[in-house]
Amino acid sequence: MKLHVISGAQTGADVAGLWAAKLFNLSTGGYAPKNFATLDGSKPEMAKTFGILEHSAGYRQRTIANLKNSNLTIVFSEKMSTGTKLTINQCLKEKKPCYVAMLDPSDLEASLNNENLNRAKNFIKNSFMIHDVITLNVAGNSTQNSARAFEFAYKGCYLLFKELGFETTAGYEDWNIYKDLWSL
């Protein structure tokens, strides 16, 4: 049973999913926009840290490439931003499973007790009966669209990976250590 975690490597939910996966010793990858563009500027170090590849085009094309290369997508979102809507709509268009976890910024912990996260966990468990490797695309709000996007996605992925039986020595509250890191 192998879980491979990919994302578009934007600030917020994308990078949080990659860090959580890395801390659970899961393989990571995915496509970043041309020039490894992020809201924090160009981050080519993502290639070494997370195995991220540079897409030849921009945000839209890298979003589509990532969801096409995955078995399912989990979207961590507080607001239905343009990018979040694109991800959800493209998953529907490509007939790819997509599970949306909505953040209530006044109660993050309650937001993590989300039926869609449970459905995603069950989808992954069931998929392991058929496939040796499952590729999970983590997507959602950037830090520009939600100040708590990183924390929400990190904690959501942390709980998901733990419930799937993966182990880590990293803590649930360690999200703040990695929030602004692009490499170690």
Above 90 in pLDDT, residue 176? Answer: no
Model confidence pLDDT, tens digit, residues 121-165: 999 999 999 999 999 999 999 999 999 999 999 999 999 999 999
pLDDT of res. 181: 75
pLDDT at 184: 63
CA quadruple 14, 16, 17, 23: dihedral sign: positive
Query: What is the average pLDDT across 104-130?
Result: 93
Q: Which two tokens stand for residue 51?
A: 């195995």
Domain map of the chain by residue range? 2-178
Q: What would the CATH number be for the domain defined by 2-178?
A: 3.40.50.450
Q: What would the mean pLDDT of 175-179 be, rounded to a whole number?
A: 86
Q: Regarding predicted confidence, which is higher, 163 or 176?
A: 163
